[in-house]
Amino acid sequence: MSNVRTLFLLACWPTAAVAQAPSTLLQAERQFVAVDAAVIALTHVALIDGQGTAPKPDQTIIIRDGRIGWVGSAASAQIPEGAKVLDLAGHTVIPGMVGLHDHTFYGGAQWPYVHLPVSAPRLYLASGVTTIRTTGSTAPYQDIIVKHSIDNGQTVGPRMYITGPYINGPGGNHGMMHEVTTPEAARRIAAYWAAEGASWLKVYNMMTREELSALVEESHKHGVKVTGHLCSIGYREAVALGMDAVEHGLYANQEYDPDKKPDQCPGVKMSVFESLDMNGEAVQSTFRDMVSHHVGMTSTVAIFEGLMADRPPLEQRTLDALFPPAREVYLQARAMLAKPEATSVRVSEAGFKKMLAYELGFFRAGGLLGAGVDPTGIGGVLAGFGDQRNYELFLEAGFTPAEAIQVLSANGAKILGAFDRFGSVSAGKLADLVVIRGDIVGHPADIRNVTLVFREGVGYDSPKLIESVRGMVGLR
């Protein structure tokens, strides 16, 4: 790990920060800008607007000064004189995705945690993720540096919401989490990261109710929200303690395990999920509590699929993006997962189906479901690519394409409290738009064919961004 880090420090530490307007990107980053004009018209697209409305054919979107100026049928569009017109017949446009569990590091059981200040922002943006929440970090100060660099227009990447480090009780800290063992420590760390620029904090498996309660109370005093990958605390307890959101859907809610004891993590048992009744009182009362208290839930189904045997389909673009030694480790782990003795780490087919059903049930009950990628696991689920994979898995779960896009965009913005600024293709919002070659309703896998990504009206060249990080994921 130290060798990799040293190499990273030597190879790619950013040059000294000089505040720059977004229109004056550093020359090296300027190469990724494909479209930059005050007025841009995207004509003849199929549109999924993020608000859950049915996909509309033959639409035109007019971008003006970084915002969506007008959207409607191509036949009724009045293209302003001097507009840069892109005829996009055969393409689909969706809102920029909002990745709520989008770490800027790579790693997991088999590979050291490596921060990715170069490849993660580029892969997210290239994949159509225009906003990320880091939701736990191995290098929170580097996240802040990257965020400022993006905000200053020095680096291309998504808009970033910083969460600071992982915060956990004692045990299972993966060698990189901040441990709190008293309510006072929880308050101290909440106040500290609020002052450093975190807008959310993320807790992990082993928190006690007493410490979590102190952390939530102090965070809220500073306007900071709290989410978590829970285990020692069930979702109904989390709601009662004032948490704003929870991560990972069913996988991180152990309140249905009959062996669960207060403040203790009983581990994750596929058998409990497999036998869970979605229409039963236990599940329905969780949903009622969360909905009535406006507690959001983040789906990370792509990463759980990555813990199943022979899934997801192996993609060449993933293998190409990985640092070659990390690629080898991933392929070995993937082969191991297919062996019968790997059952203890594996997500079962039946358990996975229940995870999907839980999220659909929560959504249909009126719950605010967002999504993120969580690029960890055994590796191989990458920044951005995994956010796209979530779309296909939502369709497998039974969401309509319009609902799936709503989860991936508008709902994320709502959970962040930013839906008035972005998250849907609506006049007046920031022009965060993803242009996809093909038809993601008829051919869901087309979501991989992103050609252009607009963030605040600047169009970035997706294939060029992906090509620029070849061999980098797992290194920098």
Residues that bind Zn ion (CB under 5 A): 374
d(Cα 74, Cα 61) in Å, to the nearest integer? 8
- Kindly tell me which of 208 and 298 has the beta carbon lying closer to Zn ion: 298
Q: Nearest approach, Cβ of 301 to Zn ion (angstroms)?
A: 13
Of the pair 386, 423, the CB lying nearest Zn ion is at 386
Query: CB-wise, 69 or 375, nearer to Zn ion?
Result: 375
Q: CB-wise, 105 or 460, nearer to Zn ion?
A: 105
Q: Closest CB to Zn ion among 91 and 225?
A: 225
Shorter beta-carbon distance to Zn ion: residue 174 or 288: 174
Q: What's the min distance (Å) between Cβ of 378 and Zn ion?
A: 14
Shortest Å, Cβ 246 to Zn ion:
12
Report in angstroms how near the CB of residue 380 gets to Zn ion at its nearest: 15
Least separation, in Å, of the C-beta of 372 and Zn ion?
A: 8
- 102 or 257, CB closer to Zn ion? 102
In the complex with Zn ion, the residue whose CB is nearer, 179 or 217, is 179
| Cα 14 from Cα 466, distance rounded (Å) | 20
Least distance (Å) from Zn ion to the CB of residue 451?
Answer: 29
- Residue 315: CB atoms within 10 A of its CB come to 15
Identity of the residue, 143 or 374, whose beta carbon is nearer to Zn ion in the bound complex: 374
Tokens 């989410």 correspond to 227
CA distance 410 to 426: 11
Residues in the chain: 476
Rounded to a whole number of angstroms, the minimum distance from the CB of residue 105 to Zn ion is 10
Minimum distance from residue 404 beta carbon to Zn ion (Å) = 21
What does the alpha-carbon distance between residue 164 and residue 142 come to, in Å, rounded to a whole number? 10
Measured from the CB of residue 303, what is the shortest distance to Zn ion in angstroms?
Answer: 8
Q: CB of 204: closest distance to Zn ion in angstroms?
A: 9
Q: Are 379 and 318 in contact (CB under 8 A)?
A: no
| Nearer to Zn ion among residue 60 and residue 227 (C-beta) | 227
Strand partners, 296: 245
